[in-house]
Homo-oligomer: A and B are copies of this chain.
Amino acid sequence: MELDTMDRAPERPALPKIVKVSAEARAIEALRSQIITGMLPAGARITEVQLSGEMGLSRATVRTALHELQKEGLLRLKPYTGWTVIQLTRQDVWELYTLRSAVERLASQLAAGAPMEQRTRIQAAFDNLADACVDASAARIAEADFCFHHAIVDAASHSRLSAQYELIAQQIRVYIRSSDALIPDPADILSQHAPILNAILSGDSAEAGRLAEEHNLVEGEKLGQSIG
C-alpha cells in the first residue's frame, strides 16, 4: 500500500506548448504592427540595411518580411532604392471602401445564417462598443468599432473572406492614422451599427448584407472627403 502511494507522483498541470515561430514570421509581425499603429507612418522610408541593424537580423530575413508586407499592400518597393509605407490617395480610399463593402456584405449575409453561438459573439462585440461609446476615449471607440466588424467577419466562418477583410482593414487603419478624419459621434456609431446587428441576430441575411454594404459605402464616402 505504502509503496503504491509513494510510486505515484502528484498530478501537475501540463506545460504549455511552445509555439515555434520563425524569425521571418516575427519580423513580419513586428513590422506590420509598427505600420498599423502609425509608429512607422504613411510615407516613411525604410531600408533593409537599417532594419537589419535595428532588428539584429540578417538582411535576407528582413527582406522576406518586407516582401510579404508589400504583398499585403502595406509597403511599396522601389527597386534598388528603398521601401516606403503606403500613402493612400482618394482613389485608394474609394477602392478600399468599395471592396470592403462588398466583402462585408457577404460576411454579414453569412453571419446572419451562422449558428446562434457565433451570432452571440457579435452581440457581445456590440455591447462592448456601446460601453465604449458611453465614456471611453476615441481610440477605444475606434478599436471597439473594428472589433464589432471583425466579429461579423469571424461569424462568417470563411477563412479567405477573413484574410481578405484583414488586408483591407489594415490599409484603412494606415490611412486613418495619416488623415485628419473626424471621429464620428458615438451616438451615430451606435445608430449605424444596431440595425446591422439586429438583422444578423434575426437571421435576415439579405437585410444584413444590404445594411452592411450601405454602412461601408457611407463611411467610405465620408472618409474620402478628409483627404486634403
Contact = CB atoms under 8 A, between A and B. Distances in A.
A22 interface: yes
A60 B72 CA distance: 21
Query: How many protomers of this protein does the assembly include?
Result: 2
For chain A, the bracket of interface size reads 20 to 34
A96 B160 CA distance: 8
A98 interface: yes
A160 B99 contact: yes
Interface string A68-99: 10011100000100000000000000011011
A103 interface: yes
Contacts of A103: 99, 102-103
A68 to B, nearest CB: 6
Nearest to A209: B102
A161 B106 contact: no
A222 interface: no
A159 interface: yes
12 contacts: A63-B64, A64-B64, A64-B67, A71-B71, A73-B160, A95-B160, A96-B160, A98-B158, A99-B158, A102-B103, A102-B106, A103-B103
